[in-house]
Structure 1
Amino acid sequence: MKLWLIVPIKPFGEGKSRLAGVLPTSTRATLNHQLFRHVITQALASPILAGILVVSRDP
């Protein structure tokens, strides 16, 4: 059996909306982008994954 990672992600500027009261949109977008990159980097290093599927409304 092949194991795939499915990563759902909102557009970077829309994610972490609960932090909207303390962080501007640009900072939240940067945070989301960094978290996304971290997840993908870790997933690519995993020897057990056959693939990664990213699901997003962003092109």
Structure 2
Amino acid sequence: MAENHGSRHVIIVAPPRALGVLRPLLGTSTRNVLKAELTSDLVRHKVSEIERHLAALTPG
């Protein structure tokens, strides 16, 4: 994932079961830039609510 896009920071947001499936599939480059995981399903949330969740995960 990150190795193909040059990402510097990655936050994964997914329900707990999906995170359990994703974790073993993450490459080393992605794990190295993984800054946070949010075990939640935010599909039906407003963008402003998602932004608030993500802001709580990242410092300043």
**Fold match by TM threshold 0.5:** no
Q: TM-score, normalised by structure 1?
A: 0.30
| Larger radius of gyration between Structure 1 and Structure 2 | 1
- Between 1 and 2, higher relative CO (CA 8 Å, sep ≥ 6) is seen in 1
Q: TM-score, normalised by structure 2?
A: 0.30
